Amino acid sequence: METPYTENHLLGERVLLRQPKTGYRVAIDPIFLAAAIQPQPGETVLDIGAGVGAASLCLAIRCPQVRVIGIELHRESVRHAADNIQLNELRDRVEILQGDLLKPPPRLAAGTFSHVMTNPPHLDSNSNNSSPYESKAISNLEGEADFAQWARFCLLMVRPKGTVTFIYRADRLDQALSFFVGKLGNITVYPLWPGQNKPAKRVLIRGTKNTGGLLKLQPGMVLHHSNGQYTAEAEQVLRHAKGVEW
């Protein structure tokens, strides 16, 4: 009998990921999100909208002395995340909770996480591009929780001097910055360029709670050569588990 899921590898073959054949499928966004976090040993990271656990697992593999807790609304995705955690033998350091950020599980205490990372829905609630698959629609389209509510939850959960990191659409960067300026300090924007002389589609955004500091725009990273192959810098992140150098 054919299985309703596939098994794929991330970070070379360091992470085994089981995911549904239809609906939301993991691309490179969660890998780059995990690569953007620079935790110290013993710190705990919250992954908001964790999906099947891709970003959480990639971070846990790259940083073996860090604990990752995720929250995900879609129950089927949480079940796949639990399978993935077990497949990668990371039950002692990774846990994905089912829950809504508007009514989070009691176990998630405000102000207790050293870092918060999230890959929020990139389409607003009025978009006509909604997927018929529930998991993909939840991942891509804002529901009851819009961007501002995602951002407020991030700020609520991170401890003072902790970091909040997003991967987001470049054409909605103004929305993200308008919310975070004045609430986070040392905000840094890191564009991901699809190729030379091509406009960025994604940006990494990081800020630190309860600090000052000017906004910084980094050169970012070019992802592809003209022939479509990944650049050496992108390969280091995607295949060799290297962190992003902010």
- pLDDT tens digits for 32-43? 999 999 999 999
Q: What is the pLDDT of residues 157-202, one digit of tens each?
A: 999 999 999 999 999 999 999 999 999 999 999 999 999 999 999 9
Q: What percent of the chain has pLDDT over 70?
A: 90
Q: Which CATH number does the domain housing residue 45 bear?
A: 3.40.50.150
DSSP one-letter code for 56: H
In a domain, 137, yes or no: yes
Contact 39, 211 (CB under 8 A): no
* Amino acid identity at 47: D
pLDDT tens-digit series, residues 102-132: 999 999 999 999 999 999 997 565 545 544 5
Q: What is the pLDDT of residue 67?
A: 98
Contact 169, 199 (CB under 8 A): no
Residue 3 CB contacts under 8 Å (≥ 6 apart), including other chains: none
- The answer to whether residue 52 sits within a structural domain is yes
- Domain, as residue range, for 84: 5-175
Our count of domains for the chain comes to 1
Q: What is the pLDDT of residue 23?
A: 83
- Check if the beta carbon of residue 34 is closer than 8 Å to that of residue 55: yes
Quote the pLDDT of residue 124: 65
CB-based contacts of 232: which residues, under 8 Å, 6+ apart? Answer: none
Q: Which residues are within 8 A (CB) of 76 and not within 5 positions of it... i.e. 6 or more apart?
A: 20, 134, 135
CA–CA separation, 72 vs 59, rounded Å?
Answer: 17
Mean pLDDT value across the chain: 92
**Does residue 133 carry a pLDDT above 50?**
no
Question: Is position 233 within any domain?
Answer: no
Distance between CA atoms of residues 202 and 245, nearest Å:
16
Q: Is 24 helix (H, G, I), strand (E, B) or coil?
A: coil
Is 240 within a domain?
A: no
pLDDT at 141: 42
Q: What are the tens digits of pLDDT across the range 63-110?
A: 999 999 999 999 999 999 999 999 999 999 999 999 999 999 999 999
Q: Residue 169 domain-assigned? A: yes
Question: What's the pLDDT score for residue 204?
Answer: 98
- Spatial CA neighbour of 152 closest among 107, 104, 186, 98: 104
Q: How confident is the model at residue 24 (pLDDT cuts 50, 70, 90)?
A: confident
**Whole-Å CA distances, 246 to 38, 113, 172, 207:** 10, 21, 21, 12
Q: Is residue 229 part of a domain?
A: no
**25 within a domain of the structure (yes/no):** yes
pLDDT of residue 189: 98
